[in-house]
């Protein structure tokens, strides 16, 4: 599915890294029980992943040819 949007193998790897880093950092710095922290980290990671997909698609579509 992501191939149709112009995602390359490198972009998929970067997506997973962004989701993992944001989820872990958010889970560590948030307050609450372990379940709440895990849920907050997961939701934040997914939102960051969606934003990464949107920005990557827009950059790939509208970037200048010399990039």
Range of the domain at 36: 2-61
- Domain count across the chain: 1
Q: Please give the average per-residue pLDDT across 10-35, as a whole number.
A: 94
The reported pTM is: 0.82
Considering the domain boundaries, does residue 66 fall inside one? no
Q: Which among 57, 59, 29, 58 is positioned nearest to 44, based on CA atoms?
A: 29
pLDDT at position 62 over 70: yes
What's residue 47's pLDDT? 97
Considering the domain boundaries, does residue 67 fall inside one? no
Cα dist from 2 to 9, 28, 38, 39, 41, whole Å: 10, 30, 27, 25, 23
């Amino acid at each position: 599915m992501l191939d149709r949007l112009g995602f390359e193998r490198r972009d998929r790897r970067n997506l997973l890294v962004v989701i993992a880093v944001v989820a872990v950092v958010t889970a560590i710095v948030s307050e609450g029980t372990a379940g709440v922290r895990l849920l907050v980290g997961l939701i934040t990671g997914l939102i960051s992943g969606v934003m990464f997909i949107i920005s990557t698609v827009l950059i790939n579509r509208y970037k200048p040819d010399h990039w």
